[in-house]
């Protein structure tokens, strides 16, 4: 595993997500209302929807294309469809977003 700094925390408004390129992967980082960060694969496995543009709360993100919902902590789709996305540890370090991949 390696730690990668992808951007500044202030680039993401509270309650929203942004997508960052990490190698060949796109990772969506969400800045939650409590100030914590969550990171998931940025592409919905259903039909490639942009998860960074989805509605997010402390527990789930909802794909903007077809409303599949993914748990922020596990990456599992909440309806039990069998779909899932990878989760990545994300932290703030000196104002930067650091993801462990």
The answer to whether domain 3-100 has CATH 2.40.50.140 is no
pLDDT of residue 72: 95
pTM over 0.85: yes
pLDDT of residue 6: 97
Greatest CA separation for the chain? 39
Question: 29 exposed, middle or buried (CB, 10 Å; 0-12, 13-18, 19+)?
Answer: buried
Q: Where are the domains of the chain?
A: 3-100
pLDDT of residue 58: 84
- pLDDT single digits (tens) 20-46: 999 999 999 999 999 999 999 999 999
Which residues of the chain, if any, have pLDDT below 70? none
Spacing of C-alpha 58 from chain mean position: 11
């Amino acid at each position: 595993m390696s730690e990668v700094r992808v951007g500044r925390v202030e680039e993401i408004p509270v309650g929203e997500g942004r997508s960052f390129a990490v190698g060949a992967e796109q990772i969506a980082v969400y800045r939650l209302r409590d100030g914590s960060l969550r990171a998931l694969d940025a592409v919905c496995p259903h039909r490639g929807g942009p998860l960074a543009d989805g509605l997010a709360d402390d527990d789930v993100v909802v794909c903007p294309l077809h409303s599949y919902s993914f748990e922020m902590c596990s990456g599992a789709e909440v309806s039990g469809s069998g779909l899932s996305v990878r989760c990545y540890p994300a932290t703030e370090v000196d104002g930067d977003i650091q993801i462990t991949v």
